[in-house]
A and B are shown apart, each in its own frame.
Chain A
């Protein structure tokens, strides 16, 4: 046995484990190569990871990208208003058109049914009213559809702006604060024109109309929703005048609870 053969035998004895290990590694590398090179196999391994990451990204997107997108949109809209209007106009325009069409159809159906009932008592009454007031019958029918509603009525001390009494359908505002504000606005407007005999009579606020009727020591503020028109204004003025002349006594102005009761009785079933 020569030296080389002896050395081989010794290698065999000493490096058996390493050789087996090397063979295993070689097998694994081969499998990995196959996995990477074959798309199907790679996709099976990688897809779940990507899906998970994507899910996380979608969840986090509003937090991480939200402010940036909002800011970018804001500045984009500011810088190119015309382009935005041009892009949005067809969409919003169509929506508005459809809504108006729908509402007009409803209104037209209601008007038709009212006009077709020509000889009803209500219709005859309307015809008479149209003749008396000079307002066309059609306009009266439309006014009936968007009938004004008295939401709140306040009797307010003219000088101090303190509320004497009030009647409301839904209690959702602080009447003391509103009475004070109305009086301040009224005083400001009246002072601004520097004519003592002129008094503020009307304020419009979004969908609400505030009718102000002045008396000697107090004024009545009526908050109205719906259509506020000349006919309604006349009727309301008459009704308030009648209330002030025939219902309110001097003593009522000192007794808020008594006046509140009177207001409720007078206006709760109001049919102006």
Chain B
């Protein structure tokens, strides 16, 4: 049986959501319309070898918003997992993280949420450690769309949990 799940990428402007997804996906439309309707759709089939299953992740890359409440709520309907992305080098992108996550939970309490600190290549390991202590709730992955670090791991883990 075919399994498809909707994953929504959310976060501030310029945190690298689209770059992160481009590292991972195979199918996409031209992104010319993203400015018009505020979303770009990608698809990636992930094989879960342990379960001997394939899962299709249909990923909605939403246009970045400084305030998450400005996001079109109809785009969040029926979401199976959120990936909340922030930029580790710009505190403004993770200052409101707790409120943002609470807002998402208000919408769909049972929906899986992964918090991702992107552009980890811009900080040292010590700085990442320090940042991890400061941010609440806990960050699930520190990725780099530039080097590809932890990108596949993020989506594989997500696919596994969604199954």
Hey, which bits of chain A sit against chain B, CB under 8 A? 157-163, 174, 176-177, 179-181, 184-185, 187-188, 190-191, 255-257
A185 surroundings in chain B (CB, below 8 A): 37
Residues of chain A within 8 A of B79, CB atoms compared: 160
Chain B residues lying within 8 Å of A162, measured Cβ to Cβ, are 4-6, 58, 78
Bound-state Cα–Cα, A62 to B27, Å: 37
The interface size bin for chain B is 20 to 34
A contact residues around B1 at 8 Å (CB) = 255-257
Chain B residue nearest to A190 in the complex (CB): B74
A176 in contact with B37 given A159-B78, A162-B58, A188-B72 (CB within 8 Å): no
Count of inter-chain pairs, beta carbons less than 8 A: 62
B→A interface (CB under 8 Å)? 1-2, 4-6, 27-29, 37-39, 41, 43, 56, 58, 60, 72, 74-75, 77-80
Q: Please, how many angstroms separate the alpha-carbon atoms of A257 and B3 in the complex?
A: 11
Distance A158 CA – B78 CA, assembled complex (angstroms): 8
Residues in A with CB closer than 8 Å to B28 are: 177
Closest beta carbon of chain B to A179's beta carbon, Å: 8
CB atoms of B43 and A174 under 8 A apart: yes
In the complex, given contacts A163-B4, A176-B56, A257-B1, what are 12 additional A-B residue pairs having Cβ atoms less than 8 angstroms apart?
A159-B78, A160-B6, A161-B60, A162-B58, A174-B27, A176-B4, A179-B58, A180-B43, A180-B58, A185-B37, A188-B38, A190-B74
Complex CA–CA separation, A160 to B37 (angstroms): 16
Report how far A176 CA is from B28 CA in the complex, Å. 11
Q: Known contacts A160-B77, A174-B27; is A184 also within 8 Å of B60 by CB?
A: yes
Q: Which residues of B contact A158 (CB under 8 A)?
A: 77-78
- Complex: how many Å from CA A184 to CA B1? 25
| A120 CB → nearest B CB, Å | 47
Q: From residue A70, how far is it (CB to closest CB) to chain B in Å? A: 25
Tell me whether A187 and B74 are in contact in the complex, defined as CB-CB below 8 angstroms, given that A174-B27, A181-B29 are known contacts. yes
Which chain A residues lie closer than 8 Å to B38 at the CB level? Answer: 188
